[in-house]
Amino acid sequence: MAALRYSRDVTSPGIDRTSDGARLEDGDDVGAVIVSAEDLQARIAELGAAITADYAGRPPLLVGVLKGAFMFMSDLSRAIALPSEVDFMAISSYGSATRTSGVVRIVKDLDVDLVDRDVLVVEDIVDSGLTLSYLQRYLLARRPASLEVCALLVKEGQQRTALDLRYVGFTIPADFVIGYGLDVAERYRNLAAIHAYDGPTP
Ligand code: IMP
Ligand code: MG
């Protein structure tokens, strides 16, 4: 089970089915709001402040994990009031569309050298934790000065591996979610809030 610091539990998901899902043709697949756009932005401001305090004097290299983290990375990077750099990795995990196998393929590697850098991995969501666990081993082999993780979402009770998550946005129920970067078959990434997915299993 992950050590959840800076985490905020989401115990009572909202019932607002409209938000910006209403502008999608298949809005019926866009379920209840799990984390509203306002709550996302408020929590990201808190995460940014915590990171700003912790990394004073040692500029972080933010490593975003594409594609899911692209929106979180954009907002989080602006909430960190420090000199910082960003880079991205793209990975794709083998397995079904809604369940990872933990076997990860690196589609795009980092452009920068990690040696002696203070690396902060920016992840969208931790489910089994297998993807992140693989990534941490891969990045540690490159000898950074430090390696920490900032995950926007952690699914409660799903982790199959011990993970040290330095920063967590929200702990959410284990159901599949979409929006704010998260997809089903590449769709719904542009929703401003995190929603339940009520559509058919792809
Ligand atoms: P894990 O390896 O089981 O922790 O899965 C992590 C990856 O699976 C995330 O980075 C996402 O890309 C994807 N994923 C897991 N749960 C969800 C979800 O509810 N919605 C969208 N993508 C998810
Ligand atoms: Mg991801």
pLDDT digits (tens, 9 = 90+) for 75-112: 999 999 999 999 999 988 765 556 666 678 899 999 99
Whether residue 92 contacts residue 67, with contact meaning beta carbons closer than 8 Å, is answered with: no
- Ligand 1 atom nearest residue 159's Cα: 4
Instruction: Assess whether the C-beta atom of 133 lies below 6 angstroms from ligand 1.
Output: no
pTM: 0.87
127 is catalytic: yes
Confidence band, pLDDT 50/70/90 cuts, at residue 50: very high
Q: Is the pLDDT of residue 14 over 50?
A: no
Q: Encoding tokens for residue 26?
A: 């298949």
In whole angstroms, what is the distance from residue 51 CA to residue 167 CA? 8
Confidence band, pLDDT 50/70/90 cuts, at residue 191: very high
* Range of lowest pLDDT (86-90, 113-117, 156-160, 163-167): 156-160
Instruction: Assess whether the C-beta atom of 188 lies below 6 angstroms from ligand 1.
Output: no
Helix (H, G, I), strand (E, B) or coil at 72: helix
Instruction: Assess whether the C-beta atom of 125 lies below 6 angstroms from ligand 1.
Output: yes
Average pLDDT of the chain is 87
- Provide mean pLDDT across the span 14-43: 74
- Provide mean pLDDT across the span 10-35: 63
Q: CA end-to-end span of the chain, whole Å? A: 28
pLDDT at 161: 84
Q: Vertex 75, ends 69 and 80: CA angle to 5°?
A: 110
Ligand 1 pocket, mutate which of 71, 91, 123, 124 (most atoms under 8 A from CB): 124
